[in-house]
Amino acid sequence: MSSMMQGKVAIVTGAGGGIGRDIALAMAREGAKVVVNDVGASLGGEGGSSGPAQQVVAEIRAVGGHAVASTDSVADAAAAQRIVNAAVDAFGRIDCVVNNAGILRDRFFHKMSVDEFDAVVKVHLYGSYFVSRAAAPHFKEQGSGAFVHMTSTSGLIGNFGQANYAAAKLGIMALSKSIALDMQKFNVRSNCIAPFAWSRMIDSIPTASDEERARVERMKQMTPAKIAPLAVALCSDAGAHVSGQVFAVRNNEIFLMSQPRPIRSVHRGEGWTPEMVAQHALPALQASFYPLDRSQDVFSWEPI
C-alpha cells in the first residue's frame, strides 16, 4: 500500500468493472477508503446485482484495504444521497467523488427514441449532478474536496450514433466547470477525464467495416488501468492546484483538452443584415470552420 490517498475517503461510481473498478483498486492501493458503487446492471441499464460491487470490495479487503459496496443508482436523487451517506456512515467523511457510472443506448439520431435519449442522459449527466450535489455540502463544510467526472471525446469531438451519450458527456464538461467556479472558494475542485479504454462500455462499437475493426483492435490495447493514475492524482492533495480542466488519457498518453474560446471574428460598423451575413460573414469565417470530425479523425495515430 502507498500513501498518496492516506486518510481520504473516495466514492467511485460504476466501479464494479472496467475503468471504475481499476480506479477503485488504485484508490485503495494509495491508502483511500473506498465506496464501490455499482448497480450491477447490463450495459443498457437493465437488471441489477450486488455481485460486481461486492467482488471489488473483496479484492480491496484481500490486500488489507478498506471498502464498502453500494448498489444504489446514480440516476435517482435520493439513491445518490444514499451513496454519499454510505461513505459518511462507514468512514466518517468524504474527500473525493469519481463520477464514472454510465450506460450506452447507441442509435442513429433519426431513429433514436425519447426513452433511449432520456435513459443515457439520466445516468451520465443527471447521475453526475445527483452524486456531486449530495457530496457538495460535505465538501463545503470541511473546506476541501475533489470531483472527477468522466466525459468523452464522443461529446468533445463527435461520433456516429451517440447523440444521447455525446450530449450527456459534453454537458458533464459544463457541469464540472460550473462546480469548479462555484466551489473554488471552499477549496473544492472539479475536473474531467475523457478516457480511451477497452471496456464493457465500448464493447458494442460496430465492427461492420475494416476501418471499424481496425479501430477496435487499437482500442483493445488501451486497458482501463491506464486511466486510474490520473484520477487518483487529481483526487489527491498533489492535485489541489488543478481545477476546471479537461484531460484525455489514451494508453500511455495524457492530453490537456481545449475548451471553447473565440477563434476569429468579423465586424461591420453599421451592423448586419441576413444578406450581408451570407455574403460577407460566413465566407470570411469559413476557413476556420471545424470539419465534421469524429474522435478517431482527431486521434488518428496509433496509441503510444
Question: Rounded to an integer, what distance in angstroms lies between the CA atom of residue 34 and that of residue 60?
Answer: 9
C-alpha to C-alpha distance for 96 and 249, rounded to whole angstroms: 20
The DSSP bridge partners found for residue 67 are 34
Q: How far is CA 145 from the centre of its chain?
A: 17
Q: Whose CA is closest to 5, among 234, 294, 243?
A: 234
Letter for the amino acid at 111? K
Cell of 26: 488504485
- 232 in Cβ contact with 96 (< 8 Å): no
Beta-carbon neighbour count of residue 186 at 10 Å?
15
How far apart are alpha carbons 122 and 111 in whole angstroms? 19
**DSSP 8-state assignment for residue 20:** H
Q: Is the dihedral of CA 86, 87, 88, 92 positive or negative?
A: positive
Active site residues: 165
Which cell numbers hold the place of 126?
443527471
Quick one: which of 89, 87, 115, 93 has its CA closest to 13?
87
d(CA 10, CA 33): 6
DSSP 8-state symbol, 98: E
